[in-house]
Amino acid sequence: MRKIRKSSFCHSAAQRRNLLFGPERYLSAKLQDVNPRPTILALTSALLVANGCTRPGFPAYPAGAREFAYVANSAGNTVTVLDLVYLRTDRTLAVGNTPTALAVNPRRDEVYVVNGQPTQSSGSISVIDTTRNAVVATIPVQRNPTAISVDPTGQRAFISNTGSNTVSVIDLDARRQIATAPTGDKPTAILVSPDGRTLVVANSGSGSVSLYDVGIPPLSNKTTPFTKIAYGPAIALRAIVPACPGAAAAVILPDSSKTFVACSVANQVMSIWLAAAPNSPYAKQDASLTADHLLALLDVGRNPTNLTLKPDGGEIFVSNRDSDSISEIATEYNDVGSTFAIGNRPANGIVSADNGVLWISNSGADSLSLYSIDDGKFVSSIRTGMAPDALVFAANEQMLLTADTASGDVAVIRTASRFGPALFTILPAGGSPAAIAVKSMPSKP
């Protein structure tokens, strides 16, 4: 691994522009509103902030606070660690072959990397200790793992194994696989419900959704990362819901009552009621709500590949990749309210914590689209690197990071300023970054 050392000098804004472009080239770029080439913008990051320079307009971090972004480079078999306090590359970690997904533990300082290793008989999970930014364990799983979800207790993880049509259950305390369960053909998206009762798996090959009991008890206010949780059975199949060709992305509402799954081949989104707990308010209201069942198949645009859920759970935004549009679903009524043009080949999305702003990465346009949910209108387009895909906010939402798959870098978007959101810099990553995650660690008392 390699760390970049802090320099003793910073450049002024004018010096940075002249170093990169020269005065005439900078003015030309400004007037034409063109996007500087990603390799040049990667150099910007080195001159601008990689050496620990201040970040004009950004709020200061508390003394001793640390925040890092982790970028899975699927073509480089590495994870790039970016220091978000100083906006610089911290180091590069070697992991398994073809890392394609990441998950952050909500209750301990760990990040998990899914290594597909498609040419091998099994895949693996790399465990990164975020206090040291070091790989501290590698957990074998089954063939060609694709996605991961960590339960609310932070003590178990679930892996979809596309090559073996199974789910692996990982004990994160023991750092080992403790159970497996069969799925449909080619499981991809996997998600644990917020209440910890249900595991949702989208099976892209068989066009179905598998639902499991996962035996996770509810958390109490006294639960800590060191509390020993009394789990039930590791995993048990509860239901299979068919009729979702090309099942892809999935979301679960914050109250764990419904899941929505993108059926990419059918140009639809499936809405499924998730079985309520026997003594829950839903069960007392209607006994039939204790069973999983299909609610609706909703028509959207062509090739829906991603679902973005508002934090309050009221709406879902569907990225229709082949029709360059977004469909808006009202989750309470299972209703498609509108479909609107957004950008060339919309990929991923993310919504601000106040539920007011939607960001969409346009993989075919090398840009992000900003959409005001409150006003119901497109606001602006912001240039990025090439083929932006995965998105993540820094903890305070002053920065939005996007993994640019074709240019192998991360665009850093300043979400608020006097002149509105804008590209701040681009930081180098590795080959074909497929996923990005952020872990924030407060200063120690």
DSSP character string of 246-280 = TEEEEEE-TTSSEEEEEETTTTEEEEEEPPPPTTS
Query: How far apart are alpha carbons 391 and 242 in whole angstroms?
Result: 30
Per-residue model confidence (pLDDT) at position 7: 32
Q: At CA 58, angle to CA 57 and CA 60, rounded to 5?
A: 125
Query: How far apart are alpha carbons 116 and 98 in whole angstroms?
Result: 5
Per-residue model confidence (pLDDT) at position 57: 63
pLDDT band at 444 (very low <50, low <70, confident <90, very high): low
Per-residue model confidence (pLDDT) at position 327: 98
* Distance (Å) of CA 247 to CA 126, 242, 263, 270, 295: 27, 10, 4, 9, 16
404: pLDDT strictly greater than 60? yes
Condensed to tens digits (0 to 9), the pLDDT of residues 152-207 reads 999 999 999 999 999 999 999 999 999 999 999 999 999 999 999 999 999 999 99
Looking at per-residue pLDDT, the higher value among 418 and 397 belongs to 397
Looking at per-residue pLDDT, the higher value among 32 and 397 belongs to 397
Contacts of 284 (CB under 8 A, 6+ apart): none
Instruction: Look at phi and psi of residue 187 and say left if phi exceeds 0, alpha if psi is from -120 to 50, else beta.
Output: beta
Distance from the Cα of residue 123 to its chain's centroid: 20
Query: How far apart are alpha carbons 321 and 410 in whole angstroms?
Result: 21
Lowest mean pLDDT among 49-63, 97-111, 194-208: 49-63
Averaged pLDDT of the chain: 87
33: pLDDT strictly greater than 60? no
CB 356 within 8 A of CB 370: no
CB 192 within 8 A of CB 210: no
Q: With both helix axes pointing from N to C terminus, report the angle between 13-20 and 23-32 in degrees, rounded to the nearest 10.
A: 90
Per-residue model confidence (pLDDT) at position 196: 92
Query: How far apart are alpha carbons 175 and 170 in whole angstroms?
Result: 7
Query: How far apart are alpha carbons 151 and 250 in whole angstroms?
Result: 16
276: pLDDT strictly greater than 80? yes
β-strand 346-351 against 357-362: which pairing, if any? antiparallel
- Give bridge partners of residue 203 from the DSSP assignment: 187, 208
Q: What percent of the chain has pLDDT over 70?
A: 82
Total Cβ atoms within 10 A of residue 288:
12
Per-residue model confidence (pLDDT) at position 1: 44
Pair of tokens at residue 8: 């003793």
397: pLDDT strictly greater than 90? yes
The model carries a pTM of 0.86
Pair of tokens at residue 379: 């606001």
pLDDT band at 368 (very low <50, low <70, confident <90, very high): very high
Condensed to tens digits (0 to 9), the pLDDT of residues 205-255 reads 999 999 999 976 554 455 555 445 556 568 999 999 999 999 999 999 999
302: pLDDT strictly greater than 80? yes
28: pLDDT strictly greater than 80? no
Per-residue model confidence (pLDDT) at position 60: 77
- Start-end of H helices in 167-312: 281-285
pLDDT band at 55 (very low <50, low <70, confident <90, very high): low
Per-residue model confidence (pLDDT) at position 230: 53
Query: How far apart are alpha carbons 412 and 41 in whole angstroms?
Result: 11
Per-residue model confidence (pLDDT) at position 44: 47
Pair of tokens at residue 22: 């020269």
Per-residue model confidence (pLDDT) at position 49: 43
Average pLDDT of the segment spanning 52-61: 64
Lowest mean pLDDT among 58-72, 223-237, 404-418: 223-237
Per-residue model confidence (pLDDT) at position 62: 83
Per-residue model confidence (pLDDT) at position 3: 41
Looking at per-residue pLDDT, the higher value among 11 and 309 belongs to 309
Element (H, E) at 316: strand 315-320
Q: What percent of the chain has pLDDT over 90?
A: 76
SS3 50: coil
Per-residue model confidence (pLDDT) at position 2: 39
Per-residue model confidence (pLDDT) at position 229: 52
Contacts of 151 (CB under 8 A, 6+ apart): 157, 158, 192, 196, 214, 216
